[in-house]
Amino acid sequence: MTNSILSESTASTSGCEGSRDRQLVDLSQYADRLTPTSKGKYECPVCGGKNLSYSRTEPTKFKCFSGDCDSLEILKAIAPERFEKGQAHKTLKRSPAKKAKPAPIPESGELARLQCKPTPPQKHQDSKGKHTTYTYSDTQWVIRLDPAKGDRKRFTPHHINKGGQTIAKKGDKPWPLYKEEEAIANGSGKWILWVEGEQCTEALRWLQLVAIAFMGGANRTEKESAILRLQKAGIAGIARIRDNDKTGFKKSEEVANICHQVGMPTVELADYLPILEGKDIADLIKANLNNPEEIIEQLERAFGRAMDKTREAVENLPDDCPDKPEKKSASHYANDLFDEWRDRLAWDIQAGEWKWYGVEKPGLWSRCDVIEVEAVIRSCLDKEGKGYGAGLVASIERLMRSQFRVKQFDANPKLIPFIDGVFNLDSNSFSEHAPGYRLTWQLPRRYHSPDSGDFGSIAQWLDFVTYGDRNRQRMIECFIAAGIRGMSHLHKFLFLIGKGGTGKSTLVRLIEAIAGEENCWNGTIASLSDKHEIIDLKGKRFAIHDDQDSIRSCGLSEFKKSTGGMKLRGRHLHQNPVEFAPSALHVVTANYPIFHGSESQGAWLSRRIMTMAFDREGGPEVRSLESKFKAELPAFTRYLLSISSEEIEATLRGGGNDIAMSPAFWESKLRDSLPAWVNEHLVFDPTARTQIGSNCDEWKNDTYKPETSTLFGAYNHYCRGAGVKSALNLTNFTPTLKELFESLGWKVEAKRDSKARYLQGVRLRREDDSSPTILEILQGRSGSDDPSDGLVTTPVTTPEPLLCKDSDDYDGLISTIEELEKEEIDFSSQPPEKTENTLYEDDKPVTPVTTAPGQGFEPVTQPTPEPVTEPVTGNKGEDNLSAPETPSYRVGDLVEITDPSLEIAGEILPLGAKDESGRYLLVYVKKGKGVRGGSTCSISVAPHQFKSAPQANAEPLTETKSTLIGEIKMLIRNLSRNDVSEQEITDEAIATYGSADTSKFTEFQLHHFHSFLLGKWEAIPFDERL
């Protein structure tokens, strides 16, 4: 707005000595004191801007277009002598004109709309930049230039004079409003929109809404005339949408004053629209080009609210409409802001920070800095047109916290937010976004996506890296599904171990793509100790620790808290600390074992870790995989949401409190001295008790004797021999050892008698003890439990002697018949891919554990005849002339299956005889997830499907063998609920019960058949005979 300075001069003139003349200051008189910057432009002495100019025809009019500086301040800087003390040159203060009372606002109104899509303005590009032509009339238009070099945009008015020449100036003829004819044609009886500039007008016209704008150089008289023309044409009112800056407030207030003077109803819509500071309505529309209907709805809602608020304010004005309004307090401003922003601002009590709704993403509450809230407060204060200080802004902000407070965000874990709405897991329904959901995260895709087909590429890749193991695939799926749901209460984390190129990073990127990178935290475990880093973990779905190095103490405490559901503490820079409960599931990847050291030996790690080995190389190219994955993410996400929470918990927790110990995990612990010593020198034996001891130098000068050694002495003897410098002291030895036993599933108790402390359940390994080590047991069981993942969900124990089991007046039998009846045995399940005979190693029998004299029986340890290793082909050959064409196999022979159609590999023990068709009935044990102890299965095998078999010779009945048969009879009698007398249990009955001809068994085979009936493999119920 052009400013004129009215000054008062008392300069003496002829005939006017001492008279006081009112005159305007001519700035051209001080042109020599101004610094030119460009043609017609000077440097402003107040703000230093380069856009001070004055009218050549009326030099009393001047303005600074850089900082909108006060004209009086400019004049004081240019001509300070006019304001020196004692001088008579003073500025006259004109009393402000009395504001007109606003026109009444009707009860209802409607925004005018265009009947069809309008024609956009002409645009063309050249070396200077982009030119846009805005047509006001047939002879008047404005060309906007957006320079290619990024300079400030320029507006040049053009007109055609009476001679038909095009002149690049405004001209003398009055200019209409931009799109005035269109507004009059479509706005009769309706409200039209006023905005600043042609670009904002075109943005609203794109929505088919009627909008106008004043020409850039229009003065107040021209604006008044234009509004009178609209009023005469029947326009019901003007809805203003100002720019959200200081100039926008001034221009909107000027239009409102003109409307008040002519009696035109007007309201301001910008107060109820989410226009950011420094932006305009065109920026808001540009940010939501894909949702024009949503913008129109926002404008309609803002129009309705503005009508109600303005109507109420106008009706409450006193009749005399005083010039000086009542002074408002900070609480009044806070109440006004609460009414306007209650659905868009919130104070998070738990986090101690502001959040606002729908700014970063639709339907999402995001963190808002205090400066942004203060900007909202300043915009409210600017409407009053009065000065204010920083203290008032701070007071209003503090008062607003109590009004906008929210106790908790993301309160409902059953709500899964997408871009286009929210999916409810409980009701299996989809709904639109709403501020009341209080959601702070969002999956980076639409729920209703056209790409929701299948996820064949993802499934094929998972099948490849897991060797087709469905259990491992289900574990991965349930883990990702748990992360999306924020199920950190499971207290589980995934540890992926394997060398490079085996798919670990591909799985991590798949997890990030599903959850969204913004919902994943990336960093090392050590960085969790940084309070500025750990605060970013708040609200995340996953915490990714990719290519993690060896872990020591740094960050392990916070990692333990995070995986255990404990609260963490962190803070943003220059802000107060915040305590929060993490919701992320952790994923750790490494090329080698990393969890070792005394800090990581506790049972907590064994309970929470899910180790998964990645060792399959040669998969598809990663880049092509990720491009295929991207198209299948919507379908895979919906599949993950279909998995129930109950199934997720059952899968990740292993169906209860079973401890999952894998060979890879146990091998990683062997880097520490205590697990390494336990692995090599301790044997689980429930009947044994070993003194703990306290002398670390027990065997320093003597020969080590495990028969008489204490545990602490043996451990320190091992450490000295292995070169371990930092062995555990006595204070930490026993607690750490007990935690290690707990992770292995060993039931070991620390007890004390009158002489010393001891551990019940373990003993030291002797030199002649051939019991397998813990690692060997795990590696053996991983083959029978699950061929690929190495996870074992049963306690890690050595072969158990008979007297170590609970007994009901019989050695080694199950406690009650009722428990036997509850045993579920799967006879119809298919055989596993690999069945390993744990009774043999390298075609030789393993020596069973010897029990105490007088308990059970004394097994015979002599080996069976060595098997024939040459394959039996059925044809006579020169090297094996005695081989029959059709080999004869007998019960108890050791055989190996080679036919791949049987899906059995390795060695099995046949317990059945030939049937009428000449096939053999083989009984084997199937172990795996969901099978309690192992399931006995049977299969019929033809002779040609065997690879090799020994020709066992008949053996005379010995005293030991007779004793074994007698015990087997007692077992059968017990299993049959004692309803069969011992005399009635013949060899035929034994064969019927066990599908085996025991009369032809060797003593060694009888021992294992005895163990079979006891339940070492699986006891077969009497009423479910094979």
Percent of the chain at pLDDT > 70 equals: 68
Considering only residues 987 and 244, tell me which one the structure prediction assigns the higher pLDDT: 244
In this prediction, residue 181 carries a pLDDT of 93
Q: Give 958's pLDDT tier (boundaries 50, 70, 90).
A: low
pTM of the model: 0.45
In this prediction, residue 639 carries a pLDDT of 92
pLDDT in tens, 801-815: 322 323 333 233 333
pLDDT in tens, 162-195: 888 999 988 888 899 999 999 999 999 999 999 9
Q: What mean pLDDT is predicted for residues 202-222?
A: 91
User: For 738-785, where are the E strands, in sequence order?
Assistant: 749-752, 757-764
For residue 88, the SS3 value is coil
Is the pLDDT reported for residue 329 higher than 80? yes
Contact 573, 532 (CB under 8 A): yes
* The length of the chain, given as a count of residues: 1026
Which residue in 924, 1014, 1006, 901 sits closest to 961, CA to CA? 1006
pLDDT in tens, 1-38: 334 333 333 333 333 333 333 346 777 777 777 888 88
Q: Distance of CA 486 to CAs 22, 413, 482, 538, 571, Å?
A: 77, 7, 6, 12, 22
Per the prediction, the chain carries an average pLDDT of: 74
> Helices 622-641 and 470-485 sit at what angle, rounded to 10 degrees?
70
Q: 580 - beta bridge partners?
A: 568
In this prediction, residue 664 carries a pLDDT of 66
Residue for token digits 């407070």? 405
Of 133-147, 448-462, 973-987, the range with the lowest mean pLDDT is 973-987
Most confident of 71-75, 409-413, 531-535, 740-744: 531-535
Is the pLDDT reported for residue 521 higher than 90? yes
In angstroms, the CA 592 to CA 297 distance is 57
Q: What mean pLDDT is predicted for residues 259-272?
A: 92
Token pair of 830 as six digits: 């298919």
pLDDT in tens, 909-943: 344 444 555 555 554 444 444 333 344 445 555 55
pLDDT in tens, 343-382: 899 999 888 889 999 888 889 999 999 999 999 999 888 8
Is the pLDDT reported for residue 844 higher than 90? no
Considering only residues 706 and 834, tell me which one the structure prediction assigns the higher pLDDT: 706
Question: How many CA atoms lie less than 13 Å away from 92 in the CB half-sphere?
Answer: 13
Contact 554, 526 (CB under 8 A): yes
Contact 761, 688 (CB under 8 A): yes
In this prediction, residue 855 carries a pLDDT of 33
Contact 569, 609 (CB under 8 A): no
In this prediction, residue 956 carries a pLDDT of 52
> Helices 370-382 and 390-403 sit at what angle, rounded to 10 degrees?
110
In this prediction, residue 789 carries a pLDDT of 40
Of 537-546, 814-823, 962-971, the range with the lowest mean pLDDT is 814-823
Q: What mean pLDDT is predicted for residues 307-325?
A: 74
Considering only residues 970 and 418, tell me which one the structure prediction assigns the higher pLDDT: 418
Q: Give 1011's pLDDT tier (boundaries 50, 70, 90).
A: low
Q: Give 243's pLDDT tier (boundaries 50, 70, 90).
A: very high
Contact 957, 857 (CB under 8 A): no
Most confident of 56-60, 616-620, 622-626, 687-691: 687-691
In angstroms, the CA 831 to CA 842 distance is 22
Q: Could you write out the three-class secondary structure of 330-393?
A: HHHHHHHHHHHHCCCEEEECCCCEEEEECCCCCCCEEEECHHHHHHHHHHHHHCCCCCCCHHHH
> Which domains can be identified in the chain, with CATH numbers?
3-91 (no CATH), 122-315 (3.40.1360.10), 330-406 (no CATH), 456-652 (3.40.50.300), 663-785 (1.10.10.10), 808-1024 (no CATH)
Q: Distance of CA 389 to CAs 68, 145, 378, 395, Å?
A: 20, 39, 10, 10
In this prediction, residue 544 carries a pLDDT of 95
In angstroms, the CA 451 to CA 448 distance is 9
In this prediction, residue 822 carries a pLDDT of 39
Contact 894, 864 (CB under 8 A): yes
pLDDT in tens, 65-80: 876 777 888 888 787 7
Q: Give 602's pLDDT tier (boundaries 50, 70, 90).
A: low
Which residue in 138, 115, 103 sits closest to 187, CA to CA? 115
Q: 920 - beta bridge partners?
A: 914, 941
In this prediction, residue 501 carries a pLDDT of 84
Tell me the Cα Rg of the chain: 45
Q: Give 1003's pLDDT tier (boundaries 50, 70, 90).
A: low
Considering only residues 1006 and 504, tell me which one the structure prediction assigns the higher pLDDT: 504
Q: Give 202's pLDDT tier (boundaries 50, 70, 90).
A: very high
**Backbone phi, psi, residue 920, to 5°:** -105, 140
For residue 950, the SS3 value is coil
Contact 121, 134 (CB under 8 A): yes
Considering only residues 944 and 725, tell me which one the structure prediction assigns the higher pLDDT: 725
Is the pLDDT reported for residue 751 higher than 50? yes
Q: Distance of CA 280 to CAs 134, 283, 500, 765, Å?
A: 19, 5, 52, 81
